[in-house]
Amino acid sequence: MTVYASQDQVYAEPILSEFTRATGIKVRAVYDSEAVKTVGLVNRLLREASNPQCDLFWNNEELRTRQLAGRGILRETNAWTAIGYRSRRIVINTNLVSTARAPSTLASLTNVEWRGRIALAYPLFGTTATHFLALRQHWGPAQWETWCHALQANKPLLLEGNSTVVNFVGRGEAWIGLTDSDDIAAGQRAGLPVAALPLNPETLLIPNTVALIRGSRNQDTADELRAFLQRPETIERLIAAGALEGLQAPGTGVTTDWSALLNDLDSATDTLRAIFVR
Amino acid sequence: MASSLATALAVAFGFATALFVSALANRAQRVLLLAAVVALALPPFVVVNCWLHYLGGTGVWRTWLNVDIFNVWGVAWLMALMLWPLTFGAAWSAWRGLDSAQLEAEPALSGFALVRWLLLPAARNSMAAAVVLTFALALNQFSIPAILQVKVLPVEFWIRFNTNLRVGDALAACWPIIVIPFAALFLLKQTKMRWSAETGPANARAFGRQLGPGVMVFTGAATVMVVGLSVALPLIQLAGAARTWTELPQVFNATIPVTTNTVLFAAWAAVLAVAMSLPVWRFRVAGLLWLFFLIPGMLLSLGIIWLFNRALLEVIYQSAAVVVLALCLRYVGPVWALIRQAFTSADTALAEAARLEGLRGWAFFRHVYLPRVAPVVFAAWYMAYLLSLWDVETITLLYPPGSETLALRAFNLLHYGHTAQVNGICLLLIVLAIAPALVYSVVRPLLFTHPLSVGHSPTNATLRR
């Protein structure tokens, strides 16, 4: 069977190998490339819709899976499942900022104290974009736009990706950053002096998603793999590796109306593009 | 603006370097040619990471050199340091065909006057083509502006493409990146690139003498600066990290299948590009092949998906053949141009003489064309091979399971922050980039006879032998 995996290769490959050992089913995987901002596979699934090559899409976030479902790329029923979660966090350089002094809310990032010392990925891509769009629902468009303007006025470093944010914060080029929990964990494993601030009501939780492709050739084996990925043991392995943060989503974080978010995607992205001019 | 600035800087760097190198002895020329190949073969993120190390927010040079590279100038500077070899190669090869009489006919024509009235006109056509190529490559460059936070069209294109996943909307918003390749194609048709297959009678000493000490000192300093900053600095940073070397054996062992893919895909794509170009070198319409090179690589891959992802052609689409085909199509335009130039610049008088002597078929090709065309065919193959080694943009939407390349692996590891492993991969790729040139320099004298000339007309019997 063929799997397209936007979950990072270092995490996904051992799990897929274990599935092959357990079931004897050979998995041929294509992993997403950071060169195309991790939506290469989503675009590929769209272009291959007339003759699907992929049986199962393992995504490390939710928005794109919902977009694919909306475009009719996934099975009609029981199309996708969320597994585990990671989260969007504020990361600090522990040599430069104490936990007590660190900003506890996203609104605090607009304080002049942090001018030029904040790093985040360009908010038109990836989970940063999704977080910003979810905050728009959480706060309402007017408050959100004011916050975006204030954040931009604080001269943040807009970087190419979330791992870069952690590296910049770890090296002290920025003092605080907004990034994904798995990237912070990777930074800590690499010995960077970084720490994540606790979850709060503005946190976005990001589950992995496992989606089945409409018209694929190996539907039964795809079902088997989905069941394998949903097992608590598999999720625990992903948590231990740092790919996921937890099994069950905690009762905090922004609540997202995904249908509304997808409807507003173009207009909200235009607003973001206008505000965060580089 | 970033692309225009980068092109202007790259042309200036390449031109100055070519002037200096043309006046050096053969061995020194070969060393600097190798440096140019390395500069062109270095991956963008290695170059950017190197400069961030020195001039980033907390860069080690920032205490004494307060230069901000997070702007258009920074982007142009880095792109120029990567793209100068194009102008260098164009000008250097054009001047190789000069006759010493042209250099020494007028003793007063020296220094900047020589550059103004002889060297610049002699290299004008080749350099025009190099300018177009440089601009097209700079315009399509994504990673450097993205890392340095400069808003350019390719970044905008990706934003739109990634936001709503509609290619048409993205293209409509970023139409210049489609229109400009067509304009570039038109300009290329008006120019005639020269790639000399052999050294002309002008020798390096005469070249240097006529240039004069002033120009030599100026261009020498420029060459040291350009080669130092574009080649030595990134390599020192790459090789200077102890972990690069400790990780290298592990990287090599872990990436043997990926390394094999990389070499095979690049080599076969280049072979295929040469094989496609050879039969059509006479046809000007084949110049349309340039479009595959000038449009964004992602568009090419979308076209290939559309064409090959269907029942009849699935055997290609599901195999590594689709990667080879994509790389071949991407780089066949420049390969065709070089091969066409080599054939059209072959000595027509010699060809006539050989025909009069009764030479036909393979004997004709071997004695008249092969010695002159073979080096250019190799150069064309090598160029396609080098470009394919680092290609990510063209194949990232296409590669089937198990067909990952080192460039793709490097990008992904970079995302995880595994800098030492990425450095190891970069070293591996540099070795793979240089290897064919080294092999060729050893094998060439054994394979090819010295080209014939009309003044040294052989007997019929000699030719047949």
Residue B63, pLDDT score:
81
- Work out the pLDDT band at A175, boundaries 50, 70, 90: very high
If you average pLDDT over residues A55-78, what whole number do you get?
91
If you average pLDDT over residues A18-31, what whole number do you get?
94
The 3-state secondary structure of chain A reads CEEEECCCHHHHHHHHHHHHHHHCCCCEEEECCHHHCCCHHHHHHHHCCCCCCCCEEEECCCHHHHHHHHCCCECCCCCEEEEEEEEEEEEEECCCCCCCCCCCCCHHHHCHHHCCCEEEECCCCHHHHHHHHHHHHHHCHHHHHHHHHHHHHCCCEEECCHHHHHHHHHHCCCCEEEEEHHHHHHHHHCCCCEEECCCCCCCCEEEEEEEEECCCCCHHHHHHHHHHHHCHHHHHHHHHHCCCCECCCCCCCCCCCHHHHHHCHHHHHHHHHHHCCC
If you average pLDDT over residues B43-50, what whole number do you get?
78
Looking at A63-72, B198-207, B348-357, which range is the least confident one? B198-207
Instruction: Convert the pLDDT of each residue in B169-228 to its tens digit.
Output: 767 766 777 777 677 777 766 665 554 544 455 677 778 887 888 888 999 999 999 999
- Work out the pLDDT band at B465, boundaries 50, 70, 90: very low
> Residue B182 — φ and ψ, nearest 5°?
-65, -40
If you average pLDDT over residues B133-151, what whole number do you get?
75
Measured between beta carbons, the chain B residues lying within 8 angstroms of A174 are: 57
Strand-strand pairing, A205-212 and A80-93: antiparallel
> Residue B426 — φ and ψ, nearest 5°?
-65, -45
- Tokens matching residue B88: 């260098």
**Which is higher by pLDDT, B284 or B325?**
B325
Residue B455, pLDDT score:
47
Strand-strand pairing, A118-121 and A176-180: parallel
- Tokens matching residue B168: 């048409």
Of B162, B306, B411, the CB nearest to A33: B411
- Within 8 A by CB and 6+ apart from B172, the residues are none
If you average pLDDT over residues B101-129, what whole number do you get?
78
Of B163, B414, B417, the CB nearest to A265: B163
Residue A148 has pLDDT above 90, yes or no: yes
- Work out the pLDDT band at A226, boundaries 50, 70, 90: very high
DSSP string, B179-238: HHHHHHHHHHHH------SS--S--HHHHHHHHHHHHHHHHHHHHHHHHIIIIIHHHHHH
Residue B454, pLDDT score:
47
> In A200-231, which positions are buried (b, 16+ CB within 10 angstroms) versus exposed (e)?
eebbbbbbbbbbbbbebebbebbebbbebbee
Residue B371 has pLDDT above 80, yes or no: no
- Work out the pLDDT band at B150, boundaries 50, 70, 90: confident
Residue B255 has pLDDT above 70, yes or no: yes
Name the residue in chain A with its Cα closest to that of B166.
A43
Residue B457, pLDDT score:
46
**Which is higher by pLDDT, A265 or A73?**
A73
- Work out the pLDDT band at B121, boundaries 50, 70, 90: confident
Which of B454, B266, B309 is closest to B372 using CA atoms? B454
- Percent of chain B residues topping a pLDDT of 70: 85
- Percent of chain A residues topping a pLDDT of 70: 97
Query: Tokens 């110049």 map to which residue?
Result: B287
> Residue A209 — φ and ψ, nearest 5°?
-130, 145
Residue B202, pLDDT score:
61
Q: Rounded to whole angstroms, how far apart are CA atoms B10 and B136?
A: 13
Helix then strand then coil, in percent of chain B rounded to 5, is: 80, 0, 20
Distance from CA of A143 to the nearest CA of B (A): 23
Residue B197, pLDDT score:
45
Asked if B163 lies within 8 A of A124 by C-beta distance, the reply is yes
Which of A69, A133, A44, A82 is closest to A244 using CA atoms? A82
Measured between beta carbons, the chain A residues lying within 8 angstroms of B412 are: 8-9, 31, 33-34
Q: Rounded to whole angstroms, how far apart are CA atoms B43 and B429?
A: 9
- Work out the pLDDT band at B458, boundaries 50, 70, 90: very low
CA angle B299, A33, A192 (to 5 degrees): 145
B393 touches chain A (CB under 8 A): yes
Residue B52, pLDDT score:
78
B159 touches chain A (CB under 8 A): yes
